[in-house]
Amino acid sequence: MTLLAAAAAAQTGNPSYVYGPTPPPTPTPKPRIYKVQPPVPLAEREVLIQGVKQMKEGPWYRLRGGSQVQTNSFLLKADDIDYNEDTGDVQARGNVYLQHFENGEELWADRAEYNLDDEAGKFWNVHGEAHLKVPVRPALLTTTSPFYFQGKWAERLKEKYILHDGFITDCKMPSPWWKLRGPKFVIIPDDHAIGYRSIFLMRHVPLFYFPAIYKPLGEEPRRSGFLTPNIGNSSQRGQMFGEGFYWAINRSYDILYRAQYFTERGFAHSVNISADPLQNTKITAEIYGVNDREHQGGLTVQAHLISDLPDGFYARGDINYLSSYLFRQAWTESYSEAISSEVHSTGFLAKPFQYYSLTFVFQRLENFQSLTPNDKIVIRKLPDIEFNARDHLIWQGVPIWLSWEASSGLLSRGELDYRTANFVERTDLYPRLTSSLQWKGFSLVPSVAARETFWGESETQTPNAVQILSKDLNRTAGEVDVDLRLPSLFRVYKPPKWMGDKLKHVIEAGATYKYVTGVNDFRSAILFDATEIFSNTNQVELWITNRLYAKRGDNVQEVLSWDVRQDRYFDPTFGGVVTPGWCGTPTCRNVVSSSIDLTAYDFLDGPRSYSPVVSTLRMSPMPGVSAEWRADFDPLNDKLTADSFVLYYYFKKIYGLSIGQDSLRYDPVLEGSANQVTGGFHFGSDTRRGWNAGVTALYDLHFDTLRDVMSQVTYNTDCCGLSVQYGKWNVGVRFDTVFRLSLSIANIGSFGTLRKQEQMF
């Protein structure tokens, strides 16, 4: 619902914006068509009249009993009808029924006066039904019931209907869940509808009063105007009162502004911008700022760009700005965002060729280290030019493939302790030759590569500080990789009936040898990205994978996989990089590409000859059930250093259960200890009829604290739904209790403080 001329919330519900990789385009559903076939096909100005008794008095036809008048656009029935063939006037009395063939509209009245030529008339004690051409959209509560209207009298003027002293609803009659009652409604099919001085009633309880309320009915449902006011409550922020304005500038640009006043904290402002400045170009942006009396306010900006340009070029961009980490923790509505200290912005212009790609990258990476102002790391690329080639044969018939990665750009890095120049040159060339040999199920893929990297500045590290040097750094390295895969072993079994018709067990195993030399100034390179953690190594990775496939009819599905792998390091110091005491303490945190490629958790606190054993177990034994367990077991410490477990259960697409646990047991030099348990349960969905409910929770066992709990109850009728959400936060500076409410109207949208992106299911 919206106020006068505000179409945004009414048509789409509360606006939401999704940032990140662009999902595949969703086909636009075709609108429902309710066109009715006339009982008797007629020419454009032809009129068919019928009645049990027919009399003619000059131009007047007097039809009595079972009377009707039909044209090519509508059918009018009544007990008695008088029709003037000269003027086109029609007077109908008793059980009046009017049906328009084009949109399927139907009217019932006690008495009617209508003119066929002007297509205008009046109806007394009227009620009727009208079908809206509403496309089905995700998360929109829909109903097949038409809109029902009733009034003391109504008039039709060409394509306009005016209903006086009545109500409208799309609920099933005679006891609708909701009604919008008012003294006057103006309806233009396929364009818009306006109600004046209207009261919204749930059952018989008045909830809202609208001086004027607007509903778009056309294919482009965008109009400027004020949004429905909303209210809310927070234990930390106090009572909330909000209002917004939607400005449809033209068919390519629109702006949505919302203001919220929190009684305990002050004003919050948000601006949403949507623009299509060029063909195949879409820009969306959201700006959110708070004037906080508790000095925890700030500003955040998120923008997304998609553009397909001429000559095969395309541009993509994600812009994110955060004024302070304190502001995020105090004002975000997402737990996952509240604990995220990263704010990354990336934009690129690219063109793919047959084997090559050219990309111009603009990037700003910001990692907040604490709540202290300016305690953050900022890395910029302005710009970085990449020219890459995927594997392609050098000579036809010779199994040797050439590929390369090449980049050159201007970078910078800044943090509290030091700052580089604004534009540090870095050029990286990384060509590779690869071959492939196959023999009786054995697969051998050797490759050789060279890497040349140049930096315009370098650094020197001491236990107490890092110093930036204006001295150039040039690094030349060589690399040899050999990937060996053994023939797969398999056996077919007759499984229990609940697992399927057949069960196939497959064992895969292999080894990857990697040798890198020439990286002799590892700690002299300024850390910008993964290029700088490229290090010397002499290692082999051994892995084995067990898989179970179940055949159920014609469907074959992997029901279990267990992958186990470990690295053996013949150079425990990685060319002198991992040495005790280099950071001023007995153990130091080391990050090199070899460890990053194996596991997401750090384990290099000193020289070592082998890595932890990394295990990944996935199970999906039956439809609706899936589980995953990841674990790092360190033989050096004889314990599990990191593990995570998650279980999902879905039944009939209605019931859902999830349980998860994450823990870290590393030395504090590497990773802080952590142990968290998550769980959730839901029944139903956001559009399912009847009762729907859900709850999620995250408990921190390490700190013995309930971090986040959220519960939601939704009840959907045949035409509307009410959602109530209640939750608590305990993260960072946020100790808050939240309460959200949303009312959904079928085929129209929703309004309230519970937005679509905050729904639990």
Domain with 54, as residue range(s), is 32-218
- φ and ψ at 523, to 5 degrees? -85, 5
Is it the case that residue 637 has pLDDT exceeding 90? Answer: no
With respect to residue 227, please indicate whether it lies within any of the assigned structural domains. no
Give a yes or no: residue 518 inside a domain: yes
Q: Tell me, yes or no, whether 614 lies in a domain.
A: yes
The last residue of one of the domains, among 619, 634, 649, is 634
User: Model confidence at 141, in pLDDT bands (50, 70, 90)?
Assistant: confident
Segment 181-221, tens digit of pLDDT: 999 999 887 677 899 999 999 988 998 888 888 877 665 55
132 part of a folded domain: yes
For the stretch 228-283, pLDDT in tens is 787 878 888 988 888 999 998 988 999 999 999 999 999 999 999 999 998 899 99
Q: Is residue 41 part of a domain?
A: yes
Query: What pLDDT is recorded for position 185?
Result: 94
Which of 274-288, 453-467, 501-515 is least confident? 453-467
Residue 436 reports pLDDT greater than 60: yes
Q: What is the pLDDT of residues 673-731, one digit of tens each?
A: 889 999 999 999 888 899 999 999 999 998 899 999 999 999 999 899 999 999 998 88
Domain boundary (601, 634, 667) is at: 634
% of the chain residues with pLDDT over 70: 93
CA angle 654, 659, 663 (to 5 degrees): 160
User: By mean pLDDT, which of 181-195, 277-291, 497-511, 630-644 is the weakest?
Assistant: 181-195
3-state SS, residue 370: coil
**Whole-number pLDDT of residue 130:** 79
- Across residues 101-120, what is the average pLDDT? 88
Model pLDDT for residues 364-381, shown as the tens digit of each residue: 999 999 988 889 999 999
Residue 155 domain-assigned (yes or no): yes
The pLDDT assigned to 757 comes to 72
Q: What are phi and psi of 548, to 5 degrees?
A: -120, 125
Distance CA 339, CA 603 (A): 23
Does residue 313 lie in a domain region?
Answer: no
Name which of 47-51, 156-160, 369-373, 414-418 the model is least confident about. Answer: 156-160
**Mean pLDDT along residues 754-760:** 78
**Of 92, 149, 148, whose CA–CA distance to 115 is shortest?**
92
Amino acid letter, residue 712:
Q
Please tell me the predicted confidence (pLDDT) of residue 204. Answer: 87
Distance CA 275, CA 281 (A): 8
- With respect to residue 715, please indicate whether it lies within any of the assigned structural domains: no
Residue 749 has pLDDT above 80, yes or no: no
Q: How confident is the model at residue 15 (pLDDT cuts 50, 70, 90)?
A: very low
Sign for the pseudo-dihedral over CA of 221, 225, 228, 230: positive
224 close to 216: Cβ distance less than 8 angstroms = no
- Arithmetic mean of pLDDT over the chain: 88
Dist CA 683 CA 678 (whole Å): 18
Question: Which of 634, 654, 679 is where one domain is finished?
Answer: 634
What is the per-residue pLDDT across 308-321, written as a single tens digit (0 to 9) for each? Answer: 999 999 999 999 99
Give the per-residue pLDDT at 666: 65
Q: What's the domain count of the chain?
A: 2
- CA 70 – CA 90 distance, rounded (Å): 11
Q: Domain containing 97 — which CATH number?
A: 2.60.450.10
Q: Note the pLDDT of residue 144.
A: 78
Of 419, 478, 480, 469, nearest to 447 by C-alpha is 480
Tens digits of per-residue pLDDT, 605-624?
A: 889 999 999 999 999 988 88
